[in-house]
Structure 1
Amino acid sequence: MKSSALATAALVLGLVAAAGAARAEGDPLFEVDFSNPGLVPAQWTLELRADGAGHFRTVRGSAPPQGEVEGRDIDRDIHLSAQFAAHVFHVAEKKSLFKNGCDSHLKVAFQGTKKFTYTGPAGQGSCEFNYAKDPEVQALSDSLVSVATTLIEGARLQTLLLHDRLGLDRETEVLVQSAADGRAQQIGSIRDILERLAEDPAVLERVKRRARMLLSKADNGA
């Protein structure tokens, strides 16, 4: 009797796990790959699901050092707001999953190669571009680059907290300015390091003040 009950429980757990895996496979996935060998990092990838969960990875590349202290390559799970994720997938579906090409082929300055890829129940599609021919796709690209900026800044803040606390003064000032003009978006994605800075007695008071200001912005959906 006991072994039968255990076997039944194991079967139920197996079915639940299989159902969860099936749902995960059926969930839409958006991915943007960015590369620009002149920048640090030179390449990054952001994966995003419809609920805002995702993953972010960077590769430094071979560009010259940009300061005495650099953040390490990033490889971590992230969470963006559901509203932002909904907008990403809305644009992807509205633009036919990017199947019709994105690049404007205009002679504009190189801004980095972006590749958008959508995979999900609606189908699969991708496109690659420097500057998009569609204003909505270009606006989405700008927003995603701004999110990546936030995540990269968050990693840099963590490195500075460990190795150069005085450097936090300038870095948080830059981040506040970037958040104000839209160059850094989804500030809540780096909430953990901002909360540490806001409460750390060993950092400058103005650093703590800026961290609290950014956390307030994150609470308001920025």
Structure 2
Amino acid sequence: MRATTSIVLGTALFLGSSFVAIAQTAEPAAAVSPSAEVTFQFDRTGLPVPRFTLRIHENGTGTYQADQAETPATQTSMRGQAAQHVDRPINLTSGTVAKVFKAARSLNHFNVECASKAKNIADTGTKTLTYAGSDGSGSCVYNYSENKTVGTLTDIFLGVASTLDEGRRLEFLHRYDRLGLDAEMNSFADEVKEGRALEMGTISPTLAAIADDTAVIQRVRLRAAKMLEQVAADSH
């Protein structure tokens, strides 16, 4: 019996004396641009959270990493907290993400002078804004900036970090000092109202646990439930 030979050439197959056309099954992989990201780093010794980094991707996902200092016991809670490192994923609303990336690109991916040249400015912490993406990259460092767009970005990131810090405080009080939740939730509500705490959705599980706990006083549960309603509204 005569041996049959086959040769693959481009998209055609030669089989013996016959010619059969075949469809190409693999296309060259398209170049996929990595998701752009904006990072905000903060460092100031002496604060309850002296160092943290927020990294946000353009699809809204991101990470929060922080070093939390030791928390001493209080009059109402005989239990303090040891220093800890926090590393957790987060998701931000599309509105906040759009503001962050629009601002970053308007600042030429942070290839600008962020820091104020004014003298004798109080130390509010060393801040670093960084952009990385297929459309460019850059970074700038400042303590205080007179640039309004930089100021807006700073307020956004500090507001998100404030909410995440609050979430950890609420978790601690819920576990060890439920009576302390009342004053803490009132204070948090004021921060949200005044725009100093943003993206409550990042602590939704904590708020839900409080709202569902019948051992917590009713007004605290109702406040937590109202916050969750706002989270739902903001996500649409």
State if a TM-score over 0.5 links the two structures. Answer: yes
Are 2:58 and 1:53 equivalent residues in the alignment? no
Q: Partner of 2:179 in structure 1?
A: 166
How far off its partner does 1:66 sit?
8.1
Write the distance in 2 (CA, Å) between the matches of 1:73 and 1:155: 12
Runs of 4+ in 1 over 3 A off after TM superposition: 64-73
Q: Partner of 1:219 in structure 2?
A: 232
Aligned partner of residue 51 in structure 1, secondary structure: coil
Write the distance in 2 (CA, Å) between the matches of 1:60 and 1:188: 21
Letter in 1 for 2:95: Q
Letter in 2 for 1:184: A
Write the distance in 1 (CA, Å) between the matches of 2:111 and 2:66: 26
Q: How many residues matched?
A: 202
Are 2:52 and 1:36 equivalent residues in the alignment? no
Map 1:128-207 onto structure 2 (within 5 A).
Answer: 128-207=141-220
How far off its partner does 1:177 sit?
0.6
Letter in 1 for 2:114: C
Are 2:217 and 1:209 equivalent residues in the alignment? no
8 Å CA contact 2:36, 2:58 repeated in 1:
yes
Q: Partner of 1:10 in structure 2?
A: none
Aligned partner of residue 202 in structure 1, secondary structure: coil
5+ residue gaps in structure 1?
Answer: 1-14
Letter in 1 for 2:215: A
5+ residue gaps in structure 2?
Answer: 1-25
% identical equivalent positions: 34
Q: Partner of 1:117 in structure 2?
A: 130
What is the root-mean-square deviation of aligned Cα atoms in Å? Answer: 2.3
Q: Partner of 1:95 in structure 2?
A: 107
How far off its partner does 1:73 sit?
3.7
Write the distance in 2 (CA, Å) between the matches of 1:103 and 1:162: 42
Are 2:26 and 1:26 equivalent residues in the alignment? no
8 Å CA contact 1:74, 1:155 repeated in 2:
no
Q: Partner of 1:3 in structure 2?
A: none
Aligned partner of residue 234 in structure 2, secondary structure: coil
- The structure that is strand-richer by fraction is 2
How far off its partner does 1:142 sit?
1.1
Q: Partner of 1:8 in structure 2?
A: none
How far off its partner does 1:60 sit?
2.1
Write the distance in 2 (CA, Å) between the matches of 1:185 and 1:66: 27
Letter in 1 for 2:68: R
Letter in 2 for 1:55: T
How far off its partner does 1:131 sit?
1.1
Aligned partner of residue 26 in structure 1, secondary structure: coil
8 Å CA contact 1:37, 1:61 repeated in 2:
no
Select which of 81, 85, 92 maps to 2:97.
Answer: 85
